[in-house]
Chains A and B, each alone.
Chain A
């Protein structure tokens, strides 16, 4: 088992066009490091010194990680992680 990470169109240049990649880790930060190891460059687009970039939203099993511990949010095998750019509604 592994954790599925869904990648938005705009970041697929780093994943060879793949919509989703498989990765491992106990926290979101570790998971992103694992994704970076096989898809170099992607991490820099997701995080900066202060944490997740402003226009990036990450959801673990549909819940926004900014309300569950940010990069320290726990992840486990079988979880689905979705990365999306922030868009307007209304």
Chain B
């Protein structure tokens, strides 16, 4: 396929079946390979949509500085889009994110401000909001509250899934900013309302939940729980186990959060088998495993991998 530029090549990712991991011909799993986007993650769709929308609204003009709190993928995607469109990018990144992510951000020209590991992305959001107040001329696209984040999935990922899999019964994706699921939820509620929207949320080590106060908790402004049907919390052990199974059985090398998403998808598959109903379950492969090699998640025993991920923001 031919595109005029890299930005035109965002989206249109393959949907591939899982012949070995699907429990039966009636209950099938399908992987939406979002690692096939230009910077290797689902966030290219979001970054492109947020920038295009801000340009359309006149909030972004050539030479502007973009500021964003991000644990990695959104930052990397924004760095690529910002470079190609001529913006400076400053990312606020929790210090417990993998070294690969930092290198990639710098490679694409982003500047990094570190936020404390304790509190994870909550802290990054807080630090970014403070910096935004100090630099009123900078533009914070703010993925957690920017409708263009969810809209990008309503307008592209959702239609792609339905076109490739008209018999779809479930969609499973990761819950971070909630943008993927909010967009997919809106699309399917309108076009095929019986599709069940399932969220897989990574459960990190205790350090990440180290808030001083419960009032410092964070629910993204985009989140509307009426758009999803169930929500699962998946720990690093299950995520690592599944991501390795995906590689072993189907040859798909995915990032650790995809293991969590697959774990939730397999639970839906098991329920369908038990209920003796047909199911076509599509799940989002958010990114490939490359950025997480240094975490040690793909080597040694599951116990060792689980231990090494303690304290990491692995999704």
| Partner-B contacts on A (CB < 8 A) | 8-10, 45, 53-57, 59, 62-64, 66-68, 82, 84-90
Docked-complex contact B176 and A8, CB < 8 angstroms = no
Nearest A residue (CB) for B234? A62
Total number of B residues with any Cβ neighbor in A under 8 Å: 46
Assess the A88–B176 pair: CB atoms within 8 A: yes
Contacts of A89 in B (CB 8 A): 71, 121, 174-177, 201-202, 315
A55 to B68, CA, bound (A): 23
Q: How far is the CA of A66 from the CA of B233 in the complex (A)?
A: 12
**B positions within 8 Å CB-CB of A:** 69-71, 73-74, 119-122, 124-125, 143-144, 174-177, 179, 199, 201-204, 206, 208-220, 225, 228-234, 315
A63 to B71 Cα, complex, angstroms: 24
Q: Report which residue of A10, A55, A62, A88 has the largest number of chain B beta carbons within 10 angstroms of its beta carbon.
A: A88
A63-B231 CB under 8 A given contacts A53-B214, A85-B217, A88-B122? yes
Contact B122 A87 (CB under 8 A): yes
The answer on a CB contact under 8 Å between A90 and B143 is yes
Contact in complex: B217, A67 (CB < 8 Å) = no
Q: Which secondary structure dominates chain A's binding surface?
A: mixed
Q: Which chain A residues border B209 with CB–CB below 8 Å?
A: 8-10, 84-85, 87
**A64 near B232 (CB under 8 angstroms)?**
yes
| CA A82 to CA B234, docked complex, whole Å | 11
Q: How far is the CA of A10 from the CA of B217 in the complex (A)?
A: 11
Given that A87-B208, A88-B220, A90-B70 are known contacts, is A66 also in contact with B120, CB under 8 Å in the complex?
no
A64-B223 Cα distance, complex, nearest whole Å: 15
A90–B219 contact, CB under 8 A?
Answer: no
A56 to B203, CA, bound (A): 14
> B219: which of A55, A68, A82 is its contact (CB, 8 Å)?
A55
* Closest partner residue, chain B, to A64 (CB atom): B231
Whether A56 pairs with B218 at a CB distance below 8 angstroms is: no
26 contacts between A and B (CB under 8 A): A8-B209, A10-B214, A57-B233, A63-B230, A63-B232, A64-B199, A64-B232, A66-B231, A67-B229, A68-B230, A85-B211, A85-B214, A87-B209, A87-B211, A88-B69, A88-B176, A88-B177, A88-B218, A88-B220, A89-B71, A89-B174, A89-B201, A90-B70, A90-B143, A90-B176, A90-B179
Contact between chains at A10 and B213 (CB < 8 Å)? yes
Q: In the complex, how many angstroms separate the beta carbon of A60 from the nearest chain B beta carbon?
A: 10
Beyond the given pairs A10-B213, A82-B233, 16 more chain A to chain B contacts, judged by CB atoms under 8 angstroms and listed by A's residue number, are A9-B206, A10-B209, A53-B214, A55-B215, A56-B214, A62-B232, A63-B230, A64-B199, A64-B201, A64-B230, A66-B231, A82-B203, A87-B120, A87-B209, A89-B174, A90-B179
Q: Closest residue of chain A to B126, judged by CB?
A: A88
Shortest distance from the beta carbon of B45 to any chain A beta carbon, whole Å: 13
- B124's contact among A9, A54, A63, A88, by CB below 8 Å, is which? A88
